[in-house]
Chain A
C-alpha cells in the first residue's frame, strides 16, 4: 500500500525530517522547564519518521535508521533503567535524581534527562514498530495479490 508518493510529499518529507527531528530534540532538552519532554518529543520524532516512511517506504526508513524500531524500544528501556544507577552508586534511595553541571557549555545534565531520553526512544520505537508491522503485513498481502 505504501509506495513512493507524490513529488510534493517526497520533497516535503526530505526537507521536514531534519527540522522535525531537531525540533524534537529541542523539545526533549527543554522539557524540564518549558512545555515539552521525552514523550512529546518522541511523538514528534515518530511523526517525522512516519512521514518519511510514507514518502519513501520501508526500505529507505530502515536504511536511514540503521537499527530496527524494536531495538529502539529496548534501548529506551535500557536508558530508563540506567538512569536509576547513579543514585544507587551515591548510596541514595532508588531513583533519587542526580544533577551535574557540564562546565564549558553550562549545561545541566541529570538522571531525569537520561530517563527522558529513555522515554523518547521507547515512544519512537513503539510507534514505529506498530506502523512498520502494519505495513509489512500489507506487503505480505500485496506480494500475493
Chain B
C-alpha cells in the first residue's frame, strides 16, 4: 500500500509523458489510479465490517520511531474512500472542463500528487508521516489554487492559503512533538489508547492549543476562515475536490482521529463546540451576502466545517454518529454542487447567480442533478443531508456546555444554509430565462457523470439509511465510542429536531423570498467585515516584511566584516554562556611540548600577527598561508594524515581563489575608523580566548564518554574500513556528509549566480565608468 502511494507520486510525474501519447484522454487514464485505490479499499471492507482494523507496518527511520505505517480503520477507510471515489470523478470531470487547456498536463501532475498526499494523510499512523503528508497537501493545494498563475488574484489567494495553512502546520508540528512526548509514542494507534495519560498531562493545554491551531487553519475555522473563499480562484474541478472531500476536511479528520486521545475534557468540548458553532454562523451569514455561485458554495463549506468541528466538540455518541453522517452527506452534495457550478459557469460564462435564470429548460439533466444535490444541502427529506441535519440538531439539543448559545448558532446556521441551497438551485435553474454572456447548452456526459453519481448516492443513502449502519458504526468505533450500536432511519416521529427543521425551512424560504432586501440591509456591515480577520492577516504579513527589511538592514548590510562580527558575537554569547554558566570551569594548564611543536606554534602566531598588520593584500594572503600550512604540520605531528592532506589542498586552492579575487579588488585602503578597529580587536580577542578556554575544558574534563572509542572499535568490524576518518564520513555519519554535499552545491550555485548575474547586469545596464567603484 505504501509503495502504491509512493508509486502514485511517480505516476503523477509521468502525466506529461502520458499526455504526449494519449492527448485529451489522459485524464481518463489518470482516473484509473484513484479508481484502483477505491477498488482495493472496497476489497478491505469485509475485514473492517467485522470490527477489525488493519495496521500495515513499514519502517522508515526506526532509530527515531518514525514509520510509514498505515492504519486502516473505519475512520481512515471512510476518508480514503471519499478521496479516491470523488478523486476519480473529479479527474473525469476535469478532462472535460479543462479540454483544450494547454496546462492540462500540469494540472494532472499536481492534482494526482495532491490526491496521493491526501491519501497518505488519512492513512498514516505515525505523527511525523502524517505531518509530512499534511504539508504536502498544503504545497500541492497551493499549486492548485494558483493554477492560473498569470492571474495576480489567483497568485495572491494561493499564497494566502499557503501561509495560513503552513503557519498552522508549524503550530501543529509543535503540538505533535508535545503529544509524542506526553504519550511516549509517535503512533496514533498507541496514543489513542493512552487518552487518560494525555488529558492528565501537564502539557495537555499547550499541546491541544497547538494542534487546534493546525486543524483550524486547515479546516478554515473562524477566525481563519477567510482563505477558503479566496481559494475559489482555482479552476472549478479543484474547488470541487479540495472543498468537498479533501483539503479542508484534513483538519476535521485530524480532530476526529485524535478525539479518543485528546477529547472528553472541558477545554476540548468548549473550544471545539464554540469555535465550530461560530464558524457555522459566520459561514452561513457570509454565504447569503454573496452572489457568486462558487462563493455561495465556499461559504456554505465553511459552515459545514464548523458543524463538523462542533459535533466533535460535543463528543457524545449521538454527536459522533451525526458527525459521520454529516461528513458523508456534505462530501457527496458539495462535490456534486461544485461540479454543477462549474458546468453552469462553463456554459453561461458567468458565476453571478443574479445574472442567470431558467436554465432548466436548456440543461434539464444538470438541473435534475442540481436539484437533488441542493435539496441535500438544504437538509430536506428524503436526502442524506436531511438525516445529517436531524442528527446534528438532536445532538445540539443534548449539549452540556453553553447549550442554548450553540443551539441558537446552529439553528441560525441551518436556516441560512437552507436559504443558500434555495438560491443555488432556484436562481440559475428556475424563473424566467435570462440572457447570459454565452449561450448555454446541456453539459457533455463527461462533466455530468460525476455530479450525477454523487447526487444519486445522496438520494440512495437518504432513502435507505440502513445501508450505512455498519459503516457509521465502524467509523464511530474509531472515534472512541466503542459500544455504539447504530440504527439510522429517516423518520423518527414528530420530535423537537423535526420541528426545528420545519421552522428552519420556513425561515430559510423567507430569507430566500426577501434575499435582495436582506443583502441590501446587510450592506452596512461591509466595512466591518472588511476589517475582519483577513485585514489582520494582511497587517501581519506587512509587519513581517517590515521586520525582515529592518533586520536585513541591521544585520546583513553587505559588508563581510559586519557579518563576521555578528556571527562571532552570537557564538561568543551562546557558547560563552554555556561554558561559563552551565559548567564549572576547571582548567589545568601544563606546558609540556617538544621543541619542534613550539616552533610550529610560534610560526602560526607569527603568521596571524603578520596578516593583521600587513599593508599589502598579497603579503597578508601569504601570512594566512603560513598559518594554514603550520596547521597542516600540526596535523602531521599528531598523526592525522587525512586532515593534513585536506588542509594542504584546501590551502592551495584557497590561494588560487584568493589570487583570482585579489586581482579584482581596488587599491588597498584603510576604510574603518580607529574605534571600529579597536572594537574588532576586542571581538576577535574574546573569541580567541573563548575557543582556547573551550579547548582546554574539553581536554581536561571527561564530561561525556568519548565517541571516538566507539568509532575506533567498530570501524573495521561494522564498516570494513581501516581509515576511521573516511569511515565516519561515508558510513557512520553519511547523512551529515550528504547534507554537507548539498550545502557545497548550494554554495557553488550561489557563487555562480552572484558572479554571473552580477556581470550580466553590468553588461546590460551600467557603463564602464561606474564599474571599478562598485566592484570594491
Using CB atoms and an 8 Å cutoff, list the residues of chain A in contact with chain B.
1, 31-40, 43-44, 46-47, 50, 69-70, 73-74, 76-77, 80-81, 83-84, 93-95, 97, 99, 108, 110, 112-113, 115-116, 118-119, 122-123, 125-127, 129-131, 133-138, 140-141, 144
Contacts and interface: CB of A to CB of B under 8 A. Distances in A.
A125 B645 contact: no
Contact of B725 (A37, A47, A136, A144): A37
A108 B105 CA distance: 45
A27 to B, nearest CB: 8
Contacts of A141: 664, 759, 771
Given A40-B642, A69-B748, A122-B745, 6 more contacts: A39-B729, A93-B62, A116-B726, A126-B747, A138-B663, A138-B664
B67 to A, nearest CB: 12
Nearest to A134: B660
Given A93-B59, A118-B741, A133-B751, A112 B730 contact: yes
A84 B559 CA distance: 40
Nearest to B756: A133
B771 A134 contact: no
Given A93-B63, A115-B734, A126 B744 contact: yes
Given A43-B650, A131-B660, A133-B751, A95 B723 contact: no
A43 B646 contact: yes
A46 B650 CA distance: 10
Interface stretch (B201-209, B296-304, B377-385, B714-722): B714-722
Contact of B745 (A32, A76, A115): A76
B574 interface: no
B661 interface: yes
Interface stretch (B122-130, B422-430, B541-549, B651-659): B651-659
B657 A130 contact: yes
B735 interface: yes
Interface string B572-608: 0000000000000000000000000000000000000
Nearest to A74: B745
A74 B729 CA distance: 20
Interface string B637-674: 00001100110011011001100110110000000000
Contacts of A118: 741
A137 B756 contact: yes
B487 to A, nearest CB: 46
Nearest to B753: A133
B738 interface: yes
Contact of A129 (B656, B751, B771): B751
A43 B723 CA distance: 18
Interface string B705-743: 000000000000001111101110111001101100110
B646 A39 contact: yes
Nearest to A123: B744
Contacts of B723: 31-37
A39 B729 CA distance: 9
B748 A110 contact: no
A39 B663 CA distance: 28
B734 A112 contact: yes
22 contacts: A32-B719, A32-B722, A34-B722, A37-B726, A38-B729, A43-B653, A47-B649, A47-B653, A70-B752, A73-B744, A76-B741, A77-B742, A77-B745, A97-B731, A113-B730, A116-B730, A118-B741, A122-B741, A133-B755, A137-B664, A137-B759, A140-B763
Bin chain B's interface residue count. Answer: 35 or more
A59 B723 CA distance: 39
Nearest to B59: A93
B663 A1 contact: yes
B199 to A, nearest CB: 34
Which of A47, A94, A99, A134 has the most C-beta atoms of chain B within 10 angstroms of its own C-beta? A134
A125 B63 contact: no
Contacts of A113: 730
Nearest to B729: A37
B613 interface: no
Given A38-B730, A44-B649, A93-B62, A125 B748 contact: yes
Which of A34, A39, A76, A135 has the most C-beta atoms of chain B within 10 angstroms of its own C-beta? A39
**A interface, by DSSP: helix, strand, loop or mixed?**
helix
A69 B660 CA distance: 18
B257 to A, nearest CB: 27
A133 B652 CA distance: 18
A93 B641 CA distance: 32
Nearest to A122: B741
Nearest to B719: A97
A120 to B, nearest CB: 10
B656 A50 contact: yes
Contact of B741 (A32, A77, A137): A77
Contacts of B495: none
A69 B751 CA distance: 13
Nearest to A54: B656
A136 B722 contact: no
Interface in B375-398: none
A40 B645 contact: yes
B61 interface: yes
Nearest to B735: A95
A126 to B, nearest CB: 4
Contact of A115 (B59, B721, B730, B751): B730
Contacts of A138: 660, 663-664
Contacts of B741: 76-77, 80, 118-119, 122
A131 B721 contact: no
Contacts of A37: 642, 723, 725-726, 729-730
A46 B748 CA distance: 14
Contacts of B641: 35
B751 A130 contact: yes
B550 interface: no
Contacts of A95: 734-735
B287 to A, nearest CB: 49
User: Which A-B residue pairs are the 10 nearest by beta carbons?
Assistant: A43-B649, A126-B748, A32-B721, A35-B641, A37-B726, A112-B730, A129-B748, A33-B722, A133-B755, A140-B759
A127 B657 CA distance: 9
A13 B295 CA distance: 71
Which of B657, B725, B731 has the most C-beta atoms of chain A within 10 angstroms of its own C-beta? B731
B762 interface: yes
A73 B748 contact: yes
B764 to A, nearest CB: 11
A60 B723 CA distance: 37
Nearest to B60: A94
Contacts of A115: 730, 734, 737-738
A133 B752 contact: yes
A134 B661 contact: yes
Which of B650, B738, B742 has the most C-beta atoms of chain A within 10 angstroms of its own C-beta? B738
Contact of B752 (A34, A40, A129): A129
A39 B642 CA distance: 10
Contacts of A116: 726, 730
B510 interface: no
B650 A134 contact: no
Contacts of A33: 721-723
Contacts of B763: 140
Contacts of B656: 50, 131
A16 to B, nearest CB: 14
B757 to A, nearest CB: 10
A135 B518 CA distance: 72
B661 A32 contact: no
A76 B645 CA distance: 22
A130 B768 CA distance: 25
B758 interface: yes
A93 B61 contact: yes
Contacts of B695: none
Nearest to A114: B730
B529 interface: no
Contacts of A122: 741, 744-745
